[in-house]
């Protein structure tokens, strides 16, 4: 059996090694257009930022290692230029010589990855305008910064790579502007969560320009936006996301999905039974929403490579789909997510879900150094099935998202989070871990013990906004039109409350408001919680301000 794999980074390399472990006799050939296989794509921004100082660190495995360890032949600098499915052959060109040749296969695996999106705008081909996807890209940016003594940079695009590049360029001492077309950074996050990231970036000196669409790059590298901004700079990074590399698949007549990726089944098999595809080039199904989409992440790519190898080697294996678990670390802040977002659900027209927000400390408050984590948990209102979570904070954000990711994988509910048993010593968590807290609040909602208010209800006639914090907290800032009645006085001052209006109750982060709501409902009032309290209000206000600037 001859297995040919096109593309030698995460999915392809993983597939090759797994195939060898399952089949010692197969002939395995790995074709890679670039100069490297199995390099650490996700480390590139940190190499540019000199956090990772040696290029060699990024090379996870060399062609020589593949040969020695796995008896896998690797051809770097060779590009697959055509597939001949009927003949089970591919056409390969050696880039150095320009000569091409054919290779037969019994099983072909496409792992071509994705290429940076480059919209057809004037000036994107100028020297000094870069994308970041490969080792040579990273090296070129480093060299350019050094040789031109670049002082200023404009990053176009506020997704993972754009943000990581912004941080790393700041880290190298550059003055960085970040241009993003949307009214927020980090689209997988809902606006109020993204506002926390934006705030941190601004505080670290990044000039954040939201609602600005790239129009052109001028000869002197000045970046112009459609909205009329002119940003003189020494360096431009275009990080507008990636597009699956499907040219080969398309020309071979393989089925593509609606989002433009290669369509595969859960064995990673394409519409041709002898051709598999894995990694950033394929469309994947979201296990929460059931939707097909594109998700350029290394973890799923590796799993897909393993599934393809197993199937090729006659094993039973299925790719279970993706959850979109992801994280970005930025200026000491971490922002992680798993599952779906509120925005995605609203866009899909769904209203069968609820959202709670909280801001617990990352460990017990009595032990020094506790830092707040802002957590948002999204769940099905009817039964508490967890649909998604987002968290932003300085410490142990990844832990909470990973626990909830495992919960989503196992179709867990908020009741499971309420009851989960997590590590507790005061340096690591709390007797009620933030994950427990999120589960408890959500479980109260599903059980009907707690009504949630929509933030949009603030200012509506039907509702009175009730602030149950202490007067000193109220004076430092409060919601518009709020009545202050501290929790400790609530029982004795119930007479001051109108019986005929809904009460929108809030405190600083939500706990006291929950206590107040339980008290009020048992005294015949109709309280509803503004989940996440004043802290979430501030985040939402910041997000709205970003959004207004954009409009």
Which positions are catalytic?
Answer: 42
* Closer Cβ to a second copy, 162 or 429, answer by number: 429
Among 16, 156, 249, 328, binds a second copy (CB under 8 A): 328
210 and 183 Cβ atoms separated by less than 8 Å: yes
* Closer Cβ to a second copy, 209 or 520, answer by number: 520
DSSP string of 493-511? GGGGS-SSSEEEEE-SSSH
According to DSSP, the residues that pair with 94 across neighbouring strands are 78
Among 225, 233, 302, 344, binds a second copy (CB under 8 A): 302
CB of 335 to a second copy, least distance (A): 10
Q: Is 434 left (phi over 0), alpha (psi -120 to 50) or beta?
A: alpha
Q: Does 472 engage in binding with a second copy (CB under 8 A)?
A: no
Among 4, 6, 10, 174, binds a second copy (CB under 8 A): 10
CB of 519 to a second copy, least distance (A): 6
Distance of CA 258 to the CA centre of its chain: 21
Contacts with a second copy by CB under 8 A: the residue count is 87
Among 267, 426, 497, 538, binds a second copy (CB under 8 A): 426
Residues between 77 and 136 that touch a second copy (CB under 8 A): none
Residues between 442 and 471 that touch a second copy (CB under 8 A): 449
Among 366, 476, 495, 551, binds a second copy (CB under 8 A): 366
CB of 148 to a second copy, least distance (A): 27
Q: Does 428 engage in binding with a second copy (CB under 8 A)?
A: yes
Paired tokens of 145:
């910064």
Angle, vertex CA 400, rays to CA 394 and CA 405, nearest 5: 135
* Closer Cβ to a second copy, 29 or 288, answer by number: 288
CB of 146 to a second copy, least distance (A): 21
In this chain, which stretch among 80-88, 125-133, 208-216, 364-372 interacts with a second copy, using CB under 8 A?
Answer: 364-372
284 and 266 Cβ atoms separated by less than 8 Å: no
Kindly report the backbone phi and psi dihedral angles of residue 250, in degrees, each rounded to the nearest multiple of 5, phi listed first: -65, -50
Residues between 373 and 402 that touch a second copy (CB under 8 A): 396, 398-399, 401-402
In a 3-state reduction of DSSP, which class is residue 235? Answer: coil
Closest CA to 85 of 255, 227, 322, 203: 255
Paired tokens of 411:
């179709």
For the chain, the first-to-last Cα distance in angstroms comes to 59
Residues between 484 and 513 that touch a second copy (CB under 8 A): 487-488, 491, 512
In this chain, which stretch among 170-178, 203-211, 261-269, 334-342 interacts with a second copy, using CB under 8 A?
Answer: 334-342
Please state, in angstroms and rounded to a whole number, the distance separating the CA atoms of residues 372 and 514. Answer: 19
Q: Where does residue 457 rank: exposed (0-12), middle (13-18), buried (19+ CB within 10 A)?
A: middle
Paired tokens of 150:
């670049």
Among 94, 258, 382, 419, binds a second copy (CB under 8 A): 419
77 and 248 Cβ atoms separated by less than 8 Å: no
- What dihedral do alpha carbons 482, 485, 491, 492 form, nearest 10°? -120
Paired tokens of 389:
């979570």
Residues between 57 and 76 that touch a second copy (CB under 8 A): 57-58, 60, 65, 68-71
Among 367, 454, 499, 548, binds a second copy (CB under 8 A): 367
Residues between 135 and 164 that touch a second copy (CB under 8 A): 160, 164
Q: Does 421 engage in binding with a second copy (CB under 8 A)?
A: yes
Among 303, 376, 469, 502, binds a second copy (CB under 8 A): 303
Residues between 162 and 221 that touch a second copy (CB under 8 A): 164
Among 147, 431, 456, 480, binds a second copy (CB under 8 A): 431
* Closer Cβ to a second copy, 100 or 289, answer by number: 289
* Closer Cβ to a second copy, 43 or 191, answer by number: 43
Contact partners, residue 168, CB within 8 Å, separation at least 6? 45, 46, 48, 49, 50, 51
Among 299, 459, 481, 498, binds a second copy (CB under 8 A): 299
| Residue 482: DSSP 8-state | P
Give every strand in the sheet of 333-339, ordered side by side. 326-330, 333-339, 386-393, 373-380, 353-358
């Amino acid at each position: 059996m001859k297995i040919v794999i096109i593309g030698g980074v995460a999915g392809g390399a993983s597939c090759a090694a797994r195939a060898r472990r399952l089949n010692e006799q197969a002939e395995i050939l790995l074709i890679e257009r670039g100069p490297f296989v199995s390099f650490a794509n996700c480390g590139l921004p940190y190499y540019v930022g000199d956090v990772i100082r040696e290029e060699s660190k990024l090379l996870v495995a060399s062609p020589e290692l593949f040969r020695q360890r796995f008896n896998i032949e690797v051809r770097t600098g060779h590009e697959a230029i055509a597939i001949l499915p009927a003949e089970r052959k591919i056409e390969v060109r050696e880039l150095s010589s320009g000569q091409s040749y054919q290779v037969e296969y019994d099983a072909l695996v496409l792992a071509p990855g994705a290429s940076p999106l480059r919209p057809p705008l004037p000036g994107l081909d100028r020297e000094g305008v870069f994308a970041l996807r490969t080792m040579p890209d990273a090296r070129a940016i480093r060299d350019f910064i050094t040789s031109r003594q670049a002082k200023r940079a404009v990053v176009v695009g506020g997704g993972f790579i754009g943000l990581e590049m912004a941080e790393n360029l700041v880290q190298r001492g550059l003055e960085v502007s970040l241009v993003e077309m949307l009214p927020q950074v980090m689209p997988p996050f809902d606006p109020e969560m993204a506002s926390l990231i934006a705030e941190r970036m601004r505080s670290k000196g990044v000039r954040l320009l939201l609602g600005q669409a790239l129009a052109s790059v001028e000869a002197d590298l000045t970046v112009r936006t459609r909205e009329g901004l002119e940003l003189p700079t020494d360096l431009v990074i275009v990080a507008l996301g990636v597009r699956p590399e499907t040219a080969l698949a398309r020309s071979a007549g393989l089925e593509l999905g609606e989002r433009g990726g290669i369509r595969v089944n859960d064995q990673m098999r394409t519409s041709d039974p002898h051709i598999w595809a894995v990694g950033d080039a394929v469309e994947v199904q979201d296990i929460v929403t059931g939707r097909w989409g594109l998700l350029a992440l290394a973890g799923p790519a590796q799993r897909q490579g393993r599934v393809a190898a197993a199937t090729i080697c006659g094993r039973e294996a299925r790719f279970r789909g993706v959850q979109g678990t992801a994280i970005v670390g930025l200026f000491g802040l971490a922002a992680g997510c798993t599952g779906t977002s509120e925005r995605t659900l609203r866009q899909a027209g769904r209203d069968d879900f609820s959202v709670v927000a909280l801001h617990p400390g990352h460990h017990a408050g009595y032990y020094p150094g506790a830092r707040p984590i802002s957590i948002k948990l999204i769940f099905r209102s009817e039964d508490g099935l967890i649909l998604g979570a987002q968290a932003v904070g300085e410490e142990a954000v990844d832990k909470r998202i990973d626990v909830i990711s495992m919960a989503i994988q196992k179709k867990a509910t908020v009741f499971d989070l309420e009851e989960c048993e997590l590590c507790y010593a005061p340096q690591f968590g709390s007797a009620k871990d933030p994950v427990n807290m999120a589960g408890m609040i959500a479980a109260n909602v599903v059980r009907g013990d707690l009504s949630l208010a929509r933030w949009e209800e603030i200012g509506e006639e039907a509702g009175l906004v009730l602030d149950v914090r202490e007067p000193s907290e109220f004076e430092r800032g409060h919601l518009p039109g709020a009545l202050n009645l501290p929790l400790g006085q609530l029982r004795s001052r119930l007479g001051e409350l109108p019986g005929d209006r809904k009460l929108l109750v809030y405190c600083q982060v939500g706990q006291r408001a929950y206590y107040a709501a339980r008290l009020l409902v048992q005294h015949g009032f109709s309280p509803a919680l503004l989940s996440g309290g004043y802290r979430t209000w501030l985040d939402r206000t910041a997000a709205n301000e970003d959004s207004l600037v954009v409009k």
